[in-house]
Amino acid sequence: MRPPEPARLSLNQITVPTLTLPEAVEACVRHGIGAIAPWRDRVAEIGVDRAARLLRDAGLRVSSLCRGGFLTASSAPARREALRNNRAAIEEAAALGAACLVMVCGPPEGRDLARARDDIARGLEALVPHARATGVRLAVEPLHPMMIGERSAIVTLDEATELAERFDADTVGVIVDAYHVWWDPRLDAAVDRAAGRIAGFHVSDWLSPTTNLLAGRGLMGDGLIDLHGLRDRVERAGYTGLIEVEIISDEHAKDDPDDLIRRVVQRFAEFV
């Protein structure tokens, strides 16, 4: 399979967590990376307006803003606060020119999983008018099932797509994150179903043994995921946009950022 065009590489900022947003932008320019996915806390450090100017002046595209979601709060005041926070995230994504706002939907409160999924659907429904008005696409990201208790009751790509299908495709799509979906025996059919809804494609690798479920991800080529095969499937479903390298790793966070980014660029060309 032909390697992806280098211009499709986007650096998710969590891959180099020791860098501020200005430092990460400078590193992208230095290494010839044309896109970035900032995190909201890093944007907040310098303010949205300055962040937008910084990205624009550097000529970087913004593949996504990480993140919105957590729509499963148990009390009415907490739910109102979650919606307020998500509307603020939508406005930030619009200001930055982000292709989408990643939605990590939130875990169940207690044992009522069905209610959590209903709360997520109702939360998205409440946010869709604001997203549509600002031109921001909400991108539901299914997370690995073992993260259900802390992060998301939406755990398969098929489930995420079914949720997104309640809304128009220009406003609500899905994220295909290799780390979270590679294990699914129905993944090929799920990617096909998501055609027209795929708002982003994220890559890293699943290490064996996995010593840290959240922050134990590997560089592409170091683990078990057939990234070539998944990229082929995603592209056959019509997605030809930016590909985010999102390596959440306590170990790689200790690496020299420039050295890590060099390896990211090399591994992207070889294994994605």
* Cα–Cα distance, 259 to 20 (Å, whole number): 17
Q: First-to-last CA distance in the chain?
A: 9
What's the chain's average pLDDT?
Answer: 97
Q: What is the pLDDT of residue 73?
A: 86
Contact criterion met (CB below 8 Å) for 204 and 246? yes
6-271: which CATH architecture?
Alpha-Beta Barrel (3.20)
Segments in the chain forming alpha helices (H): 21-30, 40-46, 48-58, 76-96, 113-134, 157-164, 178-181, 187-193, 227-236, 257-271
Residue-wise pLDDT for 31-41, tens only, equals 999 999 999 99
Q: What is the pLDDT of residue 207?
A: 98
Q: What is the pLDDT of residue 68?
A: 98
Contact criterion met (CB below 8 Å) for 137 and 169? no
74 pLDDT above the threshold of 90 = no
Q: Residues 166-173: what's their mean pLDDT?
A: 98
Length of the chain measured in residues? 272
For 13, the 3-state DSSP assignment is helix
Helix (H) or strand (E) holding 177: strand 172-177
Q: For residue 197, give the DSSP letter.
A: T
For 266, the 3-state DSSP assignment is helix
Query: What single-letter amino acid sits at 4?
Result: P
Residue-wise pLDDT for 245-266, tens only, equals 999 999 999 999 999 999 999 9
2 pLDDT above the threshold of 90 = no
For residue 241, what are the contacts with CB-CB under 8 A and spacing of at least 6? 8, 63, 99, 200, 201
Q: Looking at 65-79, 156-170, 254-268, which range is the least confident one?
A: 65-79
57 pLDDT above the threshold of 90 = yes
1 pLDDT above the threshold of 90 = no
Q: Looking at 74-78, 147-151, 156-160, 267-271, which range is the least confident one?
A: 74-78
Q: What is the pLDDT of residue 212?
A: 96
Q: Residues 171-185: what's their mean pLDDT?
A: 98
